[in-house]
Structure 1
Amino acid sequence: MTAIDAPYDLAVIGGGPAGVATVLAARARQPHWRLLWCRGPEAPARAFLPAYGANSLLHRLNVPVERMGLDAEAPVDFFDWLRQEHPDRGVEPGQFVPRRWFGEFLQARLEDVDVTSCFGAVRSLRNEACAWRIDTGHDRPGGPAVPHTALRVALCLGMPTGLPMAHAPTHWIADPWAWWRALPAQGVPVGDAETVLVVGSGLTAVDMVLGLRERGFRGRIRVVSPGGRWSQAHAPAAPLAPAVREALDEALDEAATARQVLGVLREFAARHPWRAVIDALRADTNARWAGLAPDEQRRVLRHAFGVWNRHRHRMAPDVCAALDADTALSLEPGRIGVDSEGRIVKRDRSGGTVLDVALALDCRGPGFRAALAGDSLLARLVRDGVLEAHPLGTGVRSPADPSLALVGAARFGERFETSAVPELRQQAVDVVRRWMP
């Protein structure tokens, strides 16, 4: 009997933490199911996303270790695993541990899980005769399609990549993690007399800066982003007092526009620790997002998204201190483009300047809008009518077909908080429970 003749009970498409969480949730709650896990191209899939397969201990999580668990019912499982399996690492609550340790944890969680893994990109997904046909190809371009069928499909596609920069020169690195993985164990291909440009100032940019320094590069690093700021650092902050939290909720209940919501947050952050104010919103963020009219949601994305990310997605305090102490590192506001002649141009309020750099690392972050363009799986599923694009253009709507589900970043727009580990593990459980008798 072929794979097509015997459908799997569930196919999970996506090889990152969202996919792992969904596989684990399905196996725990439906142990009799036959599971297929389509993990994507083999090399990055086995590292559970590039950021978790990095070989530098300086590349660290931006969330305390005790909050990175994958089990919605035992969310400290990552911390417990480290304490049990690696007591020599001396991990304590509140620490920001290396990303590669989280990759090791993902691998360990799957060692005894009965699941059929397939590698290679998913090329198409079609509903045929009450089952989903999944065509996958090998890592080699043009490799033969391998069909599978499943009664249910969970799409766990992870953070989307941005569009490539047109006319980019040869020293422009579009995929910095792939570049990093291909480097030799020591050194980098630039000299200390040269300048490296890092485009973007998010967490990938931070990792690239730290990695360059670890590999011995002592030259100038210019980091350019529209906001010209790093993410804020974590710091202790006691939760808001119950009366303050109640007043915050009441004020937000009255806020109907993006301007009013931001006004409330600024007011409370001026009178109370801002980290506590942001943290108090975590459980209610998606509900409040859904309560805004579409035009107001667009205003949030256009005017406040960068500021929100810098305050919501913080970095380890000692990482922030290391960046601040680096005298050969500059962080500048501006936008980077490439002209028709392949020159890298920085544009800011003073105009445009051609930059002379030996290396440019594109760390602009996920391309939520770009995910619906080009030839990504998400874009193909929208064009084929399997999924419907969200009106904001940042992701897709949850599918109407009850046998198809979305977990994670592809839901951005429909949800505001949808890509952090606490959301991923809960979405995975919710999806499996929806399919339980």
Structure 2
Amino acid sequence: MSAENGEVPPPGAAHRFAVVGMGATGVGVFVALVRSLVAAGQAAGTELHIFETKERLGAGVAYSTPHDCHLLNMRAATMSVHADDPDHFVRWLAGRAEPGPADAGEYVPRRLFAEYLQEFFDEALTEARRHGTKVVTHKSVVSDCREDAHGVHLIAALDHFVFDRVFLCLGDLPSTEYLEFTKLPTYVHSMWQGAGLEAVDPDAIIGVLGTSLTAVDALLQLRAAGHRGAVTCFSRRRSLPKVQGPRVLHTLRHVTERRLRELTGDFTRQLEFAEVAELFRCELEDGLGIAIDWKRVLARPEETFTRTLAKDVELAEKGQTLWYSILDATSEIVPLVWRTMSAKARASFMTEHLSIWSMFRHCMPLDNARRLLDMATDGAFGVASELTAVSYVEGSGTFRVDAAGRTHHVEWLVNATGTGFALDCSDSSLIQNMLMRGDIAPHPLGGIDVDFDTLRVVRRDRSLSGRAHYIGPLTRGVHFYTNSFETNLANAHSAVAAALGPS
């Protein structure tokens, strides 16, 4: 049975599914599909089509880096692809010929997780074919996706396909900030695409836009490559991420589903920001056993960033970072917390509090922090906050960056601001075509609007697609914590369950 080149499947034909994008989330969707179809006795005769231009499946942007200086930001013990078997990744590492981490608490290069995901996919592929499922791989870009009574139509290169269900998993899309510089040869819009940082002159004066974990990756790669020029990281508000210490298991007492049900009257009303903040305050202070001076914690540090980083490293080495374990324990419940918040509360958080949350929640591994501290002590890089303007100076071939009350001039500019959430600025033809027709709608807080439970895309007229699901970082406005592998894996299972369940 084929629906390619415009042919519509005949009545009663076996199911045809498509997964567009085979990074970590796409692999999660594929595996969930295979297992669900096998469990339901529906695998025989079904077709699964996957669309991915990269040779390596499962790597995506997040895990495609070949550099060993780019570590997972989460411990190996937290990165299992099996929710019911949390030690699976650790055992996989231990069974490799190449040495893995000494214990389950260590961080490993991201390339290893990409290999792990590849094996995860290969196992599912073998299982699918053993049960009579046809799996077809297409190394082509999907440029359009539209739905009608016959199914979901995909256009990939010159080919036309029709499917019963489509799962869009485009992963981390390039930043949608500073697009005015993309034609300049000394601007790196994404360190993960094209020549990236490898094109940068080793003696160049570099400005890095951002101080998040992506900026940390940029600094470490420049160091590993032997870069000698001055580097400055610029941010609007935040400084470098905090540092992860030893992992301590924490049982939530306040940020729980039961407490959320009590506060919302079994989810019949929404919470305001102050109510949510109080939940987290109680969780942290109860877990730490002390009252927190929030004004001091949230204030801008008066010391230099080097001294602040040194203190953060010292606290992590002494195991005095229990607050991180408490925040880490909220990962699974955070999407539900986000769902209970009012639109005003969510908007307030995104504009006023996201940067400080990210600094404390998305912390860097201790090994990375030590390397950065050595670099900072050597004067290899600096940090400047209060970024107000960035421009290109014609004639001089340099960039002007206004931050921290002064003007900086850099020869190369690196964008480390992360995923782009402004759909109208995205360079994806698939997103642009769907957006133009109203087949997808931008979420007010950025990214794509979807149904929370089923991940079906929301159209411009606010109706739900019957056959197209979107899973991944761009659903941040709906699920918030979508830079987490575990959240996207859980959403992959939700989308598959909705697709295979009763209509």
Aligned counterpart in structure 2 of residue 127 of structure 1, from 135, 141, 147: 147
- What CA distance in whole angstroms lies between the structure 2 residues aligned with 1:293 and 1:245? 17
- What CA distance in whole angstroms lies between the structure 2 residues aligned with 1:189 and 1:391? 36
Q: Provide, for residues 128-155 of structure 1, a one-character-per-residue CA deviation record: whole Å limited to 9, x for no partner.
A: 3421111012xxxxxxx22122111111
- In structure 2, the CA distance between the partners of 1:410 and 1:118, relative to structure 1 (3 Å rule), is same
> How many residue pairs align between the two structures?
420
Alignment match, 2:385: 333
Normalising by structure 2, report the TM-score.
0.75
- In structure 2, the CA distance between the partners of 1:333 and 1:258, relative to structure 1 (3 Å rule), is same
Aligned-residue CA RMSD (Å): 3.0
- What CA distance in whole angstroms lies between the structure 2 residues aligned with 1:374 and 1:315? 28
- What CA distance in whole angstroms lies between the structure 1 residues aligned with 2:70 and 2:275? 38
1:69-148 matched pairs, under 5 angstroms: 69-86=80-97, 88-112=99-123, 113=125, 114=129, 115-137=135-157, 145-148=158-161
Aligned counterpart in structure 2 of residue 315 of structure 1, from 360, 364, 367: 364
- What CA distance in whole angstroms lies between the structure 2 residues aligned with 1:263 and 1:23? 39
| 1:268 CA drift (Å) | 5.0
Q: Provide, for residues 387-435 of structure 1, a one-character-per-residue CA deviation record: whole Å limited to 9, x for no partner.
A: 2332334332233233222212222111112331111222222222223
- What CA distance in whole angstroms lies between the structure 1 residues aligned with 2:476 and 2:411? 36
- What CA distance in whole angstroms lies between the structure 1 residues aligned with 2:468 and 2:253? 42
Alignment match, 1:142: none
- What CA distance in whole angstroms lies between the structure 1 residues aligned with 2:139 and 2:152? 18
Alignment match, 1:397: 450
1:226-265 matched pairs, under 5 angstroms: 226-236=236-246, 238-240=248-250, 249=259, 253=263, 256-265=271-280
- What CA distance in whole angstroms lies between the structure 2 residues aligned with 1:267 and 1:159? 34
| 1:91 CA drift (Å) | 4.6
Alignment match, 1:170: 185
Match of 1:323, SS state, is helix
Alignment of 1:219 onto 2:226: no
Alignment of 1:302 onto 2:351: yes
- What CA distance in whole angstroms lies between the structure 1 residues aligned with 2:480 and 2:107? 24
Alignment of 1:429 onto 2:500: no
- What CA distance in whole angstroms lies between the structure 2 residues aligned with 1:291 and 1:244? 15
Alignment of 1:24 onto 2:48: no
Of 209-218 and 55-64, more deviation after overlay is shown by 209-218
Aligned counterpart in structure 1 of residue 214 of structure 2, from 188, 204, 208: 204
- What CA distance in whole angstroms lies between the structure 2 residues aligned with 1:404 and 1:428? 13
Alignment match, 1:373: 425
- What CA distance in whole angstroms lies between the structure 2 residues aligned with 1:300 and 1:245? 17
Structure of higher RCO (CA pairs closer than 8 Å, 6+ residues apart) = 1
- What CA distance in whole angstroms lies between the structure 2 residues aligned with 1:124 and 1:251? 41
Alignment match, 2:291: none
8 Å Cα contact 1:121/1:136 also seen in 2: yes
Match of 2:489, SS state, is helix
Percent identical residues: 22
Alignment match, 2:318: none
Alignment match, 2:66: 55
Query: Which amino acid counterpart does residue 363 of structure 1 have in structure 2?
Result: A
- In structure 2, the CA distance between the partners of 1:119 and 1:59, relative to structure 1 (3 Å rule), is same
What 5-or-longer segments of structure 1 have no aligned partner?
Answer: 138-144
- What CA distance in whole angstroms lies between the structure 2 residues aligned with 1:301 and 1:244? 22
Alignment match, 2:201: 190
- In structure 2, the CA distance between the partners of 1:395 and 1:343, relative to structure 1 (3 Å rule), is farther
- What CA distance in whole angstroms lies between the structure 2 residues aligned with 1:363 and 1:229? 13
8 Å Cα contact 2:73/2:365 also seen in 1: yes
- What CA distance in whole angstroms lies between the structure 1 residues aligned with 2:147 and 2:424? 21
Match of 2:95, SS state, is helix
- In structure 2, the CA distance between the partners of 1:363 and 1:405, relative to structure 1 (3 Å rule), is same
